[in-house]
Amino acid sequence: MLHLASKSPRRAELLARLGLDFGVLELDIPEHRQPNEPALDYVRRVAREKAGAGLLQVMTVPGAIVLGADTEVVLDDEVFGKPRDAEDAAGMLRRLSGRTHQAVSAVSLVSAGREVQAMSVTEVEFMALSEEDIATYVAGGEPMGKAGAYAIQGQAERFVRHLSGSYSGVMGLPLFETSQLLKSFGVY
């Protein structure tokens, strides 16, 4: 039985696109970058911790497989997590404005006897955003709960001048990499 270790409705929606049955495990895993921890290592570690914590919840289920994932926005080696409030969201968007950043998604798939990981790094170039663009977007509430203060599948899609990589990875679960991991486990 496959389980998704995530509270993200976007991740569940994306995983459902693969046509698989799965359960959802809601976990609260602290997401704090360690001092001097490289950004990509941080994202990989959080995905692995989510999968591991999920596996502990379903250890009694025979053949349980748990998928954990993490997605973060990285600019100049700074990790932009979820904004604390509207002011924080506006600040993130100002920094991303007119620049190219990375949307980094790590996926970890674990069972009682096996673990595999994959990573997707997508280059996302934002157009130059006006203060009005930022204020209107933030006022709509969409940035809250989203890494980097934007949802590419929502109103922020219009900010993206260029994308090189995985659109689904920017949303929160890179489907190509995820399907390859699931195939390696004989699930997909």
List residues bridging with 109 in a β-sheet: 67, 116
Q: What angle do CA 114, 112, 52 make, to 5 degrees?
A: 85
Rounded distance between C-alpha atoms, residue 88 and residue 92, angstroms:
6
The residue from 21, 28, 41, 70 that is catalytic is 70
Question: Does the annotation mark 21 as catalytic?
Answer: no
- Decide if 55 contacts 131 (C-beta within 8 A): no
CA gap 150, 138 in Å, rounded: 9
CB distance 12 to 33 below 8 Å: no
Catalytic residue positions, numbered: 70
